[in-house]
Structures are given as C-alpha cells and as structure tokens.
Amino acid sequence: PCVQCNGGFRFAELLAFARRVGAPRLATGHYARIVEHDGKKLLARAADDAKDQSYMLARLDPRHLDRIWFPLGDQVKAETRAEAAEAGLPVAQKAESQEACFLAGDDYRSFLGRHGLQPAAGAIVDEAGDVLGEHDGFWRFTPGQRRGLGVSAAEPLYALSTDARTNTVVAGPRSSLARSRVMVRGRLFAPAVNVSAKLRYRSPALPATVEATAHGFELQLDSPAYGVARGQAAVLYDGDVVVGSGLVTDSRSD
C-alpha cells in the first residue's frame, strides 16, 4: 500500500499544499536521492543501502521530482540520529516503524479483521485439489507464506495462491513458487534492457531483461523469484537509478 499511496496520493497532496502556501519545494525525511540520468531527473537509491526507501517511492512521477528534495539521501541513518540528538530533538530516540502508517501498530491481518473481514473456515488444498487442512480466512495468506498453514507434510509447504471466490488456499513445495517471467502494468522512465528488478521491499533485486509492452513491461529474470504475487510493486534499477516501476499483473515459471 505504501508504494501506491506515495505515488498516487500522498505526494500529490503534499505538493498541492506546498503550492498553496508558496513553498518552491517539498522536503521529506525519506532515504532516497534524485539524480540526473539520461537527460532527466530520476529517483535513485540512498547512500544508506540498509535504509533505502527508493522502492517505496518508485511510483512518483519523474515530472514532479524537480519540486521534491530528500535531504537525508546522502547520509546514513546513524548520522541523522546523531545530528538529531545534538540538536536535542526527541526523534533521535524514536523507534523505527515497520508497518504501513494506517495500521497503527497492528499487522494487516488484525487490521482487515477490524474492518469487516471476519474469520471464515475454508480448505487448504494441494496443487491437485486434494484437501490438506483448513484455514480461517484466505486473506490471511500471501504467496510464499509458511507461517499459519498448520499442515503437516513430508516437505515444507508454502501458500502458492488464494481464491477469494471459494475461500481456498493452495499450498505446495517452494519449487512451485518459482517464477522467471513477470508481467507488470506500469512504465519505463528511461530506456533499459538489462536491469535489476526488485519485487519485494525486503528482498534483493534480481538481474533481469526488460521488454516494454503496451501497458507496461515484461521481465525475464536471470534466476527465479519466489513468492511473486499480483499487486506487488516491481521496481527496476539501472545501477542505483530507478528506471521503471509498476504493479505485477501476472507471472509464469517458463
């Protein structure tokens, strides 16, 4: 949700407010940089790779980047905390947030439960459709998840997919999660062929070949990705520079 919010709502509203109050630029505390690439301003990874937030900001429209400033992008988090402590700012000791802001400390399952998605028993099945066990809500599972399946098997099982219509979770071995082709609805910000593709915020970027399509692009990964799900953000890097982004619409193992 953060990728979509930043790209489609949050920064648009903040930039509109900045315009109303006469501010020439909007500065935020995100760890990312804005650089010149191929004759235009594009988003890039922060100097502090461990705190880099370029993935979360990758859907920002490059046309707006000349009005945005990320002053923390060239320093590491420890430096920021030290400067805040020296200035006597309480934020120097503030704990880091790991969840979307609207969750208010909950995980997403608790949040969805509070907003109408109540437990509902359904089947956990294997790839052949044979019942392996039960769950209490398909929405509690994402592709690649092991925790919560509660099914005993000869080998570790993972959630492969879910079906909202039948409230079914399909489970199988990790090998069944492998995907080498990924279709994305989005856009390329600069010409690119060989890129690093990041499909999850906490996962490493994977070498890939990208090909533009009518509504976005398609990735051929050099090595398989596991746990690719529709709706995930796909962010493409040329070195440190974000050269494309979008949302996964489909994936295949071939």
Average pLDDT over residues 53-66: 96
Residue intervals of the chain classified under CATH 3.40.50.620 are 2-96
**Is 70 exceeded by the pLDDT of residue 99?**
no
pLDDT digits (tens, 9 = 90+) for 128-171: 999 999 999 998 999 999 988 988 888 999 999 999 999 999 99
Give the confidence band of 38 by pLDDT, cuts at 50, 70, 90: confident
Q: Minimal CA–CA distance to 43: which of 27, 29, 28, 61?
A: 61
Single out the catalytic residue among 5, 14, 35, 247.
5
Would residue 5 show up in a list of annotated catalytic residues for this protein? yes
**Is 90 exceeded by the pLDDT of residue 27?**
yes
Q: Minimal CA–CA distance to 31: which of 77, 65, 68, 67?
A: 77
**Is 70 exceeded by the pLDDT of residue 104?**
no
Residues belonging to the chain: 254
Between 181 and 148, the more confident residue is: 181
Q: Minimal CA–CA distance to 161: which of 39, 239, 253, 77?
A: 253
Give the confidence band of 118 by pLDDT, cuts at 50, 70, 90: confident
Give residue 103's pLDDT: 72
Report strand pairing: 178-188 vs 241-252.
antiparallel
Give the span between the Cα atoms of 232 and 219, in whole angstroms.
14
Residue intervals of the chain classified under CATH 2.40.30.10 are 177-252
- Helices assigned H by DSSP within the chain: 2-5, 11-20, 77-86, 108-114
Would residue 2 show up in a list of annotated catalytic residues for this protein? no
Q: Minimal CA–CA distance to 221: which of 243, 189, 249, 199?
A: 199
- Provide the mean pLDDT of the chain: 93
Residue intervals of the chain classified under CATH 2.30.30 are 119-172
Give the span between the Cα atoms of 63 and 65, in whole angstroms.
6
Give residue 114's pLDDT: 79
pLDDT digits (tens, 9 = 90+) for 41-54: 999 999 999 999 99
Instruction: For residue 164, give both structure tokens.
Output: 């909202």
Which of 57-71, 134-148, 197-211 shows the lowest per-residue confidence on average (mean pLDDT)? 134-148
Give the confidence band of 98 by pLDDT, cuts at 50, 70, 90: low
CATH class, range 2-96: alpha beta
Q: Which CATH architecture has domain 177-252?
A: Beta Barrel (2.40)
**Is 90 exceeded by the pLDDT of residue 67?**
yes
**Is 80 exceeded by the pLDDT of residue 220?**
yes
Give the span between the Cα atoms of 131 and 238, in whole angstroms.
45
Single out the catalytic residue among 27, 91, 101, 131.
101
The residues, ordered by sequence, that sit 6+ positions from 105 with a Cβ below 8 Å of its Cβ are 99
Choose the CATH number for 119-172 among 3.90.550, 2.30.30, 2.30.29, 3.30.70: 2.30.30
Q: pTM, whole model, 2 decimals?
A: 0.90
Give the span between the Cα atoms of 139 and 229, in whole angstroms.
13
